């Protein structure tokens, strides 16, 4: 019974992290700069796979540190602590 509870809690945590990862990455995409900086922002974004973002979040890591400073500067609202779930 205890093992079942532990597995359910772990499953709930992974599902929660998956939802948050999806939201955070979509927020970055929505904030992408259009024009000259788009190609660089796209390369920087794609350098961090979804799984790496998810795993960092699941281990209570700082997901913002995964992305380049150039991308953080180009999409400041996406990396703002207040706007991140």
Write out pLDDT tens, residues 12-39.
Answer: 999 999 999 999 999 998 888 787 778 8
For residues 66 and 24, is the Cβ–Cβ distance under 8 A? no
Percent of the chain residues topping a pLDDT of 70:
94
pLDDT value of residue 75: 85
Nearest to 57 by CA among 44, 68, 48, 45: 48
pLDDT at 85 over 80: no
The residue with tokens 């796209």 is 42
pTM for the full predicted model: 0.81
């Amino acid at each position: 019974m205890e093992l079942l509870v532990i597995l359910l809690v772990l499953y709930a945590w992974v599902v929660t992290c998956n939802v948050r990862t999806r939201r955070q990455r979509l927020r970055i995409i929505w904030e992408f700069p259009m024009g000259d900086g788009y190609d660089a922002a796209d390369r920087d974004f794609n350098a961090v796979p979804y799984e790496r973002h998810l795993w960092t979040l699941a281990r209570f890591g700082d997901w913002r540190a995964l992305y380049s400073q150039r991308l953080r500067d180009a999409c400041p609202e996406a990396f703002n602590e207040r706007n991140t779930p």
